[in-house]
Each structure stands twice: as structure tokens, then as C-alpha cells.
Amino acid sequence: MAAGRVRLPWRRIGLAAWASVFVLALADVWWGVFSYRATNAHIVREVGLFPYAVYDVVSHAWRQLFDHLDDVDPAAYAHFLEARRAAWSLDEQPPARRKNIVFLQLESMDAATLDATLDGGPVMPFTRALRERGWVFENALDQTAVGRSSDAHVLVITSQIPIQNQPVFTRYDLSHVRSLPKLLAPLGYRSMSFEGYQAEFWRWKSNHQRMGYHASFSMTELDASEQLGWGISDRSVVEQAVQQMVASTRPFFAHIMTLTNHHPFPFVRESVGAPARGIVNDYLLSARYVDGVVKLLYDRLEQHGLLEDTIVAVYADHDSGITEELLLALGRPYRAGVEHERIPLIVTGLGPPRVIRRPVGLADLAPTVLLAVGAPVPRALVGTPLQSAAGSVLLPNRTRVTGVDGDGLAVVEPVHGIELETLTRLAIQRPQALPD
């Protein structure tokens, strides 16, 4: 080496520089966003792609190395489920009747939409009028996590809570979980599901088959000639679903999933050639179309003599994704950080009309219909029947909503003693470890 020359350790300097960049990139990240119910895209917008990738890799590695159900003592989870069952508050119930059951799952909708107007007229007049003939739930909360629509399937079919950062439909084998079709089958129910889209989307059709549906109708089996948006129009799907109900043995369970009202909601406006006036206007115009679909279902059930002997649940799979923009456009406040998105939930066929103000969620639907038709309700189901005067709503972020305060805000408290994610995984992978 020549005199006076200093050889710099460039490799070490480079590594130190990269380490500094790594630390600085993660230092200001709001890691708390991962504990909220949010889509992956929303989390990426909040923290950036690199921190999200780090979190995802570390979480996956942790689950693979340390998070094994074989090490879980199910006793605490059984105790938790027994305590939830003990909290039911049921008045004397009418005699159980083996009515038909129809779930109409609306895509991406906020409860505020029922009272919205557009160009001087109501957006959803028929659905709003169902309040006068059924049970309406003013505080039905969105319980979904990153799986969104597929999480709604988990909630209404299995009465389990979605996992915060894992879409259950694509991560787990659902062959063994207790499910509504399997629980209805001993009473002679035939279960059918309908969605006017590809069967492989969220693996919904194969998962429905694993969970006990006798038949599932996707774009392959349905007449796909009338298209609107992502797939077959909602009107066509409902028409074809009712035809299958008419041809089916009784009693039946029919689960209809709509899709036309999908974010970013342009499809109805484009179909009628209306000018673009922003996403909120597109959403309200699309919701008006959905209201016609709800009316169509009720009209067809009545025409075929099915309505009187059928429980119909009309609900949204999750919120619109534009709740803040919608509420502000409707002149209503949105309180960032404290709002829990409300979704529409109306059930007809359970009894005289009533308004229920306690918090409820989609996980409550399966226990509700099982109780109404006289089927046993396993304790492993975490939902509370809507017939109960008391109940709390479990959320994927390890909290529960126990009530609503005078300002209309959800009263939230942490869930202690168990991990809700582990409870869901036990229900899916080790159902025998939980009480019947």
C-alpha cells in the first residue's frame, strides 16, 4: 500500500448506510394501524409498502415458528364461550317453525344509505320501508377484516370472527368448521348459494361446498347473458335464485350474494349513460339500483307463495369504503378514530316489527335462524341470537362493542383472557376442542 493512503471499509460503510435507511424508514411508522380493521391497501397507504412488507414477513415467520394450536389449552376458550352463552337474555320465544331461510347479501353498503336522498328522491325507499314489516338493527357493525366480502361469509356461515390480517377463505381448510348448512341439514334443509361471478374468486364456491352447501351457482352455472359491473347483474342473479328456490325441496336455505354495487360504483351510472358527478353520486345511484333488487326478491317470493313461510335477512357484507365521504355529503358528522361503520341489517319473518338498538353483527345471524327454526345452537358459535335483549359484538382487532353511548358512539373494551384469532383457528382446525 502506498504511503499516506487509507483504505476505507466501504462494505461496512455500505451496510451501515443501508441499516440506517432501514431504521429510519421504520422509525416513524404508525404500527398501531395494524390493530385496526383495515384493508391491506389502506394499511399500505398509511405506513408505506416497505414497512407493510416487513410486518407481513415477520408476522408470517412468527406464525410458522411459534404459533401452533397444539400448544393451546382450549379450557380458557371453552370458558369464554360458556360465558357468552350465559349472557344471552331471551324472553319466551314463539314456537319454532322450520321456515325457509334467505340471506340477501348486499355488496359494500353503509346503513346511512337507507335514509339518503338523491336528486330530491329517496335512494332506497323499499328497503327503508322494510322497517315497518321486520326487525331493523340500528347499530349493526361491520365485523370484517382484510378479507372483506369473504370475511362476511365466515361471519354469517360459521359465526366466527375473521382474522385481522389473514383472509380466512384463502388461508384455511374449512371442511371441519361448524357451519350453518351443516347445522340445518339434520332438519331437512337444502342449502344453496348464488353469486354472479367466478367461482374461484376468494375460493368462495369450493369453500361453500366444504361448509355443506348442497349446490352453489356461479357464472358457470347461471345464465350470464345479462352483465352489469363485475359479472351477472344482481337482478338476473335474484331472478335465477328464486327459480331454484321454487324448484327446491322445502325447507331450504338460499344465500344470495350481490356484486353490482362494487367499489368504485360506476357501473349503474355507465349503464344508463349518466354523466360522472363523483364517487358519492355513483354510489347513491348504484344503491338505488340495489333497492330495486331487494324489492324484486320480495315480490318474487310473494308471487310464488314463499314469503309468508320464509325468514329473509337483508344485510351488507361490509361498509362502503367511502363512509366518511358519504356521511359528509349527507350532512352528517364523521368522527375519525371513534366511528365504527354501521351496515344495514333488516330481518323479516321473525315476528312483529321492532327496532333493536343494541350493537349486533353478522356473526349473530347463524344463531338467530338456528334458534328460530328449532335447531341446536352450538356453544362454539360466538354470535348472539338477535332475539336476545343483551349481547356484545366481537371485532377482529381484539375488542368488543358492549353498547352505544348517548352520542351514538360505540362503547368498546378489550377482550381479555383469550386471543380471538386463536379462537377462530380452533373452530376451524380443532373444532372438537370447543364445546357443542
Per-residue pLDDT tens for 17-58? 555 555 555 555 554 544 444 444 445 445 565 565 555 555
**Could you give the CA distance from residue 296 to residue 240 in angstroms, rounded to a whole number?**
12
The answer to whether 410 touches 377, Cβ cutoff 8 Å, is no
pLDDT digits (tens, 9 = 90+) for 152-171: 999 999 999 999 888 998 89
pLDDT digits (tens, 9 = 90+) for 168-216: 988 999 999 999 999 999 999 999 999 999 988 878 999 999 999 999 9
Q: Does domain 82-433 have CATH number 3.40.720.10?
A: yes
pLDDT number for residue 187: 97
pLDDT digits (tens, 9 = 90+) for 406-416: 888 999 999 99
Give mean pLDDT, residues 112-132. Answer: 97
The answer to whether 289 touches 261, Cβ cutoff 8 Å, is yes
Residues contacting residue 132 through CB under 8 Å, at least 6 positions apart: 353
**91: pLDDT confidence band, cut at 50, 70 and 90?**
confident
75's grid cell: 379450557
pLDDT number for residue 33: 46
Residues contacting residue 276 through CB under 8 Å, at least 6 positions apart: 266, 269, 282
The answer to whether 25 touches 51, Cβ cutoff 8 Å, is yes
Burial degree of 132 (CB within 10 A; 0-12, 13-18, 19+): exposed
List, by residue range, all CATH 3.40.720.10 domains of the chain. Answer: 82-433
Q: Is 65 a residue whose pLDDT tops 80?
A: no
pLDDT number for residue 255: 98
Sign of the torsion formed by the C-alpha atoms of 389, 395, 401 and 407: negative
The answer to whether 169 touches 153, Cβ cutoff 8 Å, is yes
Lowest-pLDDT range, 98-102, 245-249, 406-410, 422-426?
406-410
**Could you give the CA distance from residue 385 to residue 371 in angstroms, rounded to a whole number?**
7
